Homo-oligomer: A and B are copies of this chain.
Amino acid sequence: MPKRTLRGTPSRLILPVFVLMAVVATGATDSNEQPLLGFSKAGAAEQRALESRFDAALRADNLREWMKRLAARPHPVGSPWGDENARFMLDLFRSWGYDARIEEFQVLFPTPKLRRLEMIAPEPFTAQLAETAVPGDATSGQTADQLPIYNAYSVDGDVTGELVYVNYGVPRDYEDLERRGIDVRGKIVLARYGGSWRGIKPKVAAEHGAIGCLIYSDPRDDGYYQGEVYPEGGWRPEQGAQRGSVADMPLYPGDPLTPGVGATPGAKRLPLKEAPTLTKIPVLPISYGDALPLLRALGGPMAPEGWRGALPVPYRLGPGPAKVRLQLAFDWKTVTAKNVIAVLRGAERPDEWILRGNHHDAWVNGATDPVSGMVAVLEEARAVGELVKSGWRPRRTLVYAGWDAEEPGLLGSVEWAEANAALLRDKAVAYINSDSNGRGFFEVGGSHTLEQFINQVGRDVPDPQTKVSVLERLRARLIVDSRGNELRELRSRADVPIYPLGSGSDYSPFLQHLGIAVLNISYGGEDEYGQYHSAYDSYDHYIRFMDPTFDYGIALAKTGGRAVLRLAQADVLPFEFTRFATTVGRYVDEVESLAGTLREETEERNRRIREGLYELADDPNRKLVVPKPQDPVPHLNFAPLRNAVAAVEKSARAYDQALAAAAQEGRWPAAGERQRLDAILMKMERALTRKEGLPRRPWYVHHVYAPGFYTGYGVKTLPGVREAIEQRQWKEAEEQVAITARVLEGFAKEVERAAALLRGE
């Protein structure tokens, strides 16, 4: 379950206009002469020598062999091959000198007993609901071991109703339907994948009274509209479908029965009926082969132009005459999730943990998702093990993890994070995540306190195809794709912005539940990624359409390895706060401008209603419904946020100056002081959380980054404020401004404490 919608092209770049120190080179300068954040000059040289030895140990053949092995059979959580894989990795870690173990959790994991979808009017049709084996693909025919096409945590159901096409099925789409006089109450909705995380679609459909939900993969989004389909190309073939979780992850991820606590054998569990993250209505994913007869049988008005996909039919909305019956029944069993945890104890500061992980479970064979990332992490860990065998020891503790049960909803990582919450809040420095990987550009999201750090990492990793650094290549791509303000902003800095994280992979519990700084890294954008969560995500697909040479797997190992080794070895933990301050300042601009735009749009809409313009402009034959007036948008007081950002900026500058002076003069505080400094720095991200959490979803405690309540994977920055405005909750918006401002003021104070320590005060 990689962050599919953001892969390759973060929808919005974070572009701080004000850049304090453009310390990242762009070409000519020898990157070996560039300083490393948190290291003295001598320390940097030593670190680079270590990284050269690390690089030299990496072998692409290992990635290839391990992928063949791990993806040889389907291996979802609880499956025999999944268990085999966990044991296989455990043995590997141990052979490399890690203190490794499997940590188990007992989690709810329903699998289908009955799946049936029939159209009963205007003509009969029974959906195939199966992926055809593909010639030249060694594993797509392993049907006995495959989980069939389904959505995990859909409720059981047997529903019959007229069909309505709802586009992506996000709240805005229902406004468009309402304008067209179409009500989904008592209907079954047909949504297409995309535009939101899939779990949002049944949630919003149920909120609007629908009784069932089908989700299909339109060929426009990852089928023939994008390129040749598998096996000629890498894109989704006619009978390919996307499995996936539909639990209400924005409420909380992980095991639906044990929110907030580890799903250990003795944990208190919710009764199944009370689990709030299960869907309210039955949901089934289907292929475009199965969707075409349904779409063809829809009547009613034409769908808005932006809703139309690439199937050769007029996209109409219904309701009906297409009428379908959807029958779903699941085996609501508990299975054992097996996380592989491998530890290398730090020689100097064993209680400062650098965490690195990737999941190992897959919906089917999962060569890309997650094996492509997992094998890079394994190779990275092996190369670190080689360093250890040669006598080196990390200063801080390294923890490598292979998570199980990520696909149903981050269960392995969430339960582990919940079970070890106190320990992690105390000891975790940062968590570095990866997942699917492919050929192309460096992709990186995460905490902006690590933006400068990860830019320095990217500056030192060579791109396999062009030989410049992966950072330089990414920057070139971003510039070539930009224009206007975005271009000017990119041109004003030497490094690149990293994107903020919502959800979609295992960083979420660390960042958003525990307040640990995270990074999520991968490569991609030059692959053909149409096999997502299907039986076609195979080794054969991978070596033709994703990363045939595994060169980008090695690039990922170099990137993750450098990040881990620098975090482990730095004299002072390499956090930096000016970029964070600038970025949050931009988020404040955004929410303020969001409120302003909403105010103007509301005024104009109400004026149009008052003046009767909709009635005049609408085609009388189309029977459109005039929108209802909305309450006017009050002016909100954003001053507390502005003042808080100013405080963060001020403290960040003070810290930068103190750090620069210390690094310049090679004058670090004494060891004890440095440890005290680390203790502050590693908990900076904790300072962005509040134990009360976000409104209506206390599991999410981070006040700068959260997955959107109505977008799922898609991030909402300053979520308390932004979502209150989006939901037109003005009182809550004002409260959240105050709360978020207090959080940021607290953060500024911690930065100031760190600066004072550095100055020797």
| A contacts, CB < 8 Å to B | 219, 224-229, 233, 235, 302, 308, 310-314, 440, 465-466, 468, 472-473, 476-477, 479-481, 483, 487, 526, 601, 604, 608, 611-617, 619-621
Contacts and interface: CB of A to CB of B under 8 A. Distances in A.
Given A224-B313, A235-B314, A476-B616, 12 more contacts: A226-B302, A227-B302, A228-B314, A233-B314, A312-B312, A440-B619, A473-B616, A479-B608, A479-B613, A480-B613, A481-B617, A487-B604
A172 B220 CA distance: 24
B465 A620 contact: yes
17 contacts: A219-B312, A224-B314, A227-B302, A227-B314, A308-B310, A310-B310, A310-B312, A468-B616, A472-B616, A473-B616, A473-B617, A476-B611, A476-B613, A479-B608, A479-B613, A480-B613, A526-B621
Contacts of A620: 465-466
B480 A617 contact: yes
Contacts of A487: 604
Nearest to A616: B476
A414 B479 CA distance: 50
A623 to B, nearest CB: 13
A539 to B, nearest CB: 20
A-B pairs, top 10 by smallest CB distance, nearest first, are A476-B616, A476-B613, A480-B617, A477-B617, A476-B617, A312-B312, A526-B619, A465-B620, A224-B314, A473-B616
A612 B473 CA distance: 10
B616 A477 contact: yes
A233 B621 CA distance: 14
Contacts of A615: 466
Contacts of A225: 308, 314
Contacts of A616: 466, 468, 472-473, 476-477
Q: Among A472, A601, A613, A614, find the residue whose CB has the most chain B CB atoms closer than 10 A.
A: A613
A440 B465 CA distance: 56
A620 B549 CA distance: 14
A28 B229 CA distance: 60
A668 B465 CA distance: 81
Per assembly, the copies of the chain total 2
Of listed A314, A604, A611, residue having the most chain B CB within 10 A: A314
Nearest to A235: B314
Contacts of A228: 314
Contacts of A621: 526
A308 B481 CA distance: 20
Contacts of A440: 619
Contacts of A613: 476, 479-480
B314 A312 contact: no
Contacts of A235: 314
B466 A312 contact: no
Nearest to A288: B312
A224 B310 CA distance: 11
A122 to B, nearest CB: 14
Contacts of A311: 312
A20 to B, nearest CB: 24
Interface centre among A226, A308, A440, A617 (most CB of B within 10 A): A617
A226 B314 contact: yes
A476 B618 CA distance: 9
Contact of A224 (B312, B472, B619): B312
Contacts of A312: 219, 224, 310-312
A224 B614 CA distance: 27
Residue in A476, A608, A621 with the greatest tally of chain B CB atoms within 10 Å: A476
Contacts of A313: 224
A320 to B, nearest CB: 16
A472 B616 CA distance: 8
Nearest to A228: B314
Contacts of A601: 483
Contacts of A227: 302, 314
A310 B479 CA distance: 31
Contacts of A465: 620
A620 B551 CA distance: 14
Nearest to A604: B487
A747 to B, nearest CB: 36
A611 B476 CA distance: 9
A588 B616 CA distance: 34
Contacts of A481: 617
A479 B604 CA distance: 10
Nearest to A472: B616
A720 to B, nearest CB: 28
A50 to B, nearest CB: 28
A547 to B, nearest CB: 12
A562 to B, nearest CB: 21
A224 B468 CA distance: 47
A519 B620 CA distance: 28
Contacts of A619: 440, 526
A498 to B, nearest CB: 19
A312 B481 CA distance: 28
